[in-house]
Amino acid sequence: ISGRDRVRVSKFLSGLLRHYPDRFGIALDRRGYAKLEDVLGVLRKRYGIGEMELRAIVELDRKRRFELVDGRIRARYGHSVDVEVRWTEDKSIPEKLYHATSPENLGSILKSGLLPMRRREVHMTATPEEAVEVGMRHSNAPVLIEIDAGEMVKDGIDVRKKGRVFTADRVPPDYLRVV
Ligand code: HQG
């Protein structure tokens, strides 16, 4: 499967497992897992690909968006559907995390903190570069925010690691610094 097709299918899979499983008759369990064979049914019909191609997509994904275990598959982050997202793959969280956004959002963010908006969680990255890449989806001149994740954890706020991404229910303004 070519790189371009991988990206195309990966985008569809993100939509399917994060936002609209119902539209394709896919059931997610409480923790966001779909049955691999159900998802393969949809992918076979839509893209003519099988398990080998899906495994390649999952394994080559740079952000490790998907988790495939024991005949089940789920998106690690990014959900809007109501699934249990309070799990982490690693409890050691970096001291600083980053988020980048459109300048128009800044006033509201500094006032109310980072909120999940249409998703279940707020998403952060370990490096400024990755954050800016995310921010470019919203603006061609994104503002970079540094998050004091070390303090959040000390204060008992849950920060979670999912693939290359870090998440929280929300980030109060006290932990934010525009850089
Ligand atoms: C903003 C991609 C106003 C927030 C990325 C962001 C990520 C506020 C937007 C993942 C706000 C939501 C998620 C507040 C937050 N007032 N605006 N109080 N709080 N916002 O797309 O983090 O490639 O839901 O700054 O890499 O951009 O799809 O969040 O601009 O990991 O795997 O509200 O999606 O991953 O936008 O992106 P999004 P995001 P994938």
Residue range 34-78, pLDDT digits in tens: 999 999 999 999 999 999 999 999 999 999 999 999 999 999 999
- Enter the ipTM: 0.98
| Contact (CB, 8 A) for 9 and 47 | yes
The domains found in the chain, sorted by start residue, are 3-75 (1.10.10.970), 96-178 (3.20.170.30)
Nearest residue to 64 via CA among 164, 160, 134, 132: 164
Q: Say what the pLDDT of residue 166 is.
A: 98
CA distances to 27, 32, 61, 102, 172 from 24, in Å: 9, 15, 23, 32, 37
Q: Each residue of 92-112: pLDDT tens digit?
A: 999 999 999 999 999 999 999
Ligand 1 is surrounded, with C-beta below 6 A, by 14, 63, 65, 78, 101-102, 105, 108-109, 112, 114-115, 117-119, 123, 134, 137-138, 165
The 3 state secondary structure assigned to 35-100 is EHHHHHHHHHHHHCCCHHHHHHHHHHCCCCCEEEECCEEEECCCCCCCCCCCCCCCCCCCCEEEEE
Any idea which residue has 């956004």 for tokens? Answer: 101
What whole-number percentage of the chain has pLDDT above 70?
Answer: 100
And the tokens for 65? 């968006």
Q: Ligand 1, atom 32: nearest CA belongs to which residue?
A: 65
Task: Give the mutation target among 138, 145, 174, 178 for probing the ligand 1 site: most ligand atoms within 8 A of CB.
Answer: 138
Q: 3-state class of 172 per DSSP?
A: coil
Residue 5 banded pLDDT, cuts 50, 70, 90: confident
Ligand 1 centroid–CA 68 distance in Å is 24
